[in-house]
Amino acid sequence: MNRAESEKLFVEALQYIPGGVNSPVRAFRAVGGNPFFVNRAAGAKLRDVDGNEMIDYVLTWGPAILGHAHPKIIAAVKSAAELGTSFGIPNPLEVKMAKLICGLVPSVQKVRMTNSGTEACMSAIRLARGFTRRDKILKFDGCYHGHVDSLLVKAGSGALTFGQPDSAGVPASFTQHTIVAPFNDFDAVKQIFAANKDEIAGVIIEPVPGNAGLYLPQPGYLEFLREITAANGALLIFDEVMTGFRLARGGAQELFGITPDLSTFGKVIGGGLPVGAFGGRAEIMDYLAPLGPVYQAGTLSGNPVAMAAGIANLEELEAVNAYQKLEQFGAQLEAGMKAAAQSAKIPVQFNRCGSMFCGYFTSQPVHNLADAMTSDRERFKKFFHGMLDAGVYLAPSQFESGFISTAHTATDIEKTVQVAAQVFRKL
């Protein structure tokens, strides 16, 4: 593909933006080469500044569940913007969005809007600590909850080891109350609670981790976390920034039948605009200012344009019975990719949950971050560029989830599988 204009833009961007990008994964460092620049998107397709069209499985990292530039979302944004882009005072759309979320997610009795998933997770952690009057938080290796200082932590040498900062600029003291356990490890969690009796404020988890590729909870694991947190007076926090309103109308918690104490959201509820939210039981949420002692604020939280986009997104998902269609496309892609890899004798683990997926170049099943790290990343790089050159855009990292939208078609899926079969044979 000709990408001359993208190359020129990237050279210019490097002069004014660190690394030439405003979010690290966009830089293509994990796959090599330089990123392309997009100036138009519609449905399931992206068009770059050089005129190349691609089937998109990144979908702005999840929010475009109805596809890009959906007419109803565009109309809602235009209508809201004409009345004013920001008020800094309550507006009716905030109430409508809150009612929608509470109606779709039974565990959420009250909800507070934020501007990003990072803000939502940061606030949920603060609220859990304020409500329980405890300091320690348990998270899981491979689960990402935004670039919050206290949560940018890798696992230590053992399940009981306190985490060390995973970024320069984060003092070790900021993470001293964060404990990391391997995902899907029952015994590690039991040991952590035993060693930190009455000290753990909450357990935060992506119920289906989508930031280390994609892997699923083992049968009974989420139920186990619900039971052990309840028994120990800790809160269970589901980070559904990615999975919320994507895996089911009520998110992963509906899919798996679990009731967390708090949940965080983003992506889909923004309809392509920057939005986040956190919510849960009313008695916990009422600890927030102005009712309670836990402070949280945001000038642009509940922004009317963002609320309009998110409301249109959620309402359209209900209207078109989206989840049946997404499951159908997901199953088609999974079956096709597995068959293509098998035919080419390439070891691939293709993990999928609804409209989220990831293929790992490894012969062993992937249930956690350690398993994911066995994937052949050099082979993934070649696969990524082979797919991109043929007009199929996947996430530019082995450790990111792919997404499907209702705007994809069976023909798009079929073409994707055909391209993959050709690329597999060249690996």
Are the beta carbons of 276 and 296 closer than 8 angstroms? no
Please give the C-alpha separations between residue 427 and each of 227, 352, 385, in angstroms, as whole numbers.
46, 23, 11
Nearest to 323, CA basis, from 13, 104, 43, 150: 104
- Return d(Cα 74, Cα 67) in angstroms, integer: 12
- Return d(Cα 10, Cα 350) in angstroms, integer: 33
192's CB contacts (< 8 A; 6+ apart) are 138, 159, 160, 179, 181, 200
Q: What is the full DSSP assignment across 249-279? A: TTHHHHHHT---SEEEE-GGGGTTS--EEEE
Active site residue 144: yes
| Per-residue DSSP letter, 74 | H
Catalytic residue, candidates 57, 144, 221, 323: 144
Q: What is the CA radius of gyration of the chain?
A: 21
Catalytic residue, candidates 48, 141, 185, 239: 239
Starting at the edge strand found earlier in the chain, the sheet holding 53-56 runs 38-42, 45-48, 53-56, 392-393
Active site residue 323: no
49's CB contacts (< 8 A; 6+ apart) are 5, 6, 9, 36, 37, 38, 39
Length of the chain in terms of residues written:
427
Active site residue 239: yes
Nearest to 325, CA basis, from 406, 245, 246: 406
Which residues, listed in sequence order, are joined to residue 402 by a DSSP beta bridge?
357
Catalytic residue, candidates 267, 371, 376, 412: 267
Are the beta carbons of 58 and 264 closer than 8 angstroms? no
- Return d(Cα 374, Cα 426) in angstroms, integer: 21
Q: ω into residue 165 within 30 of 0, thus cis?
A: no
Nearest to 118, CA basis, from 309, 274, 251: 274
Catalytic amino acids? 144, 239, 267
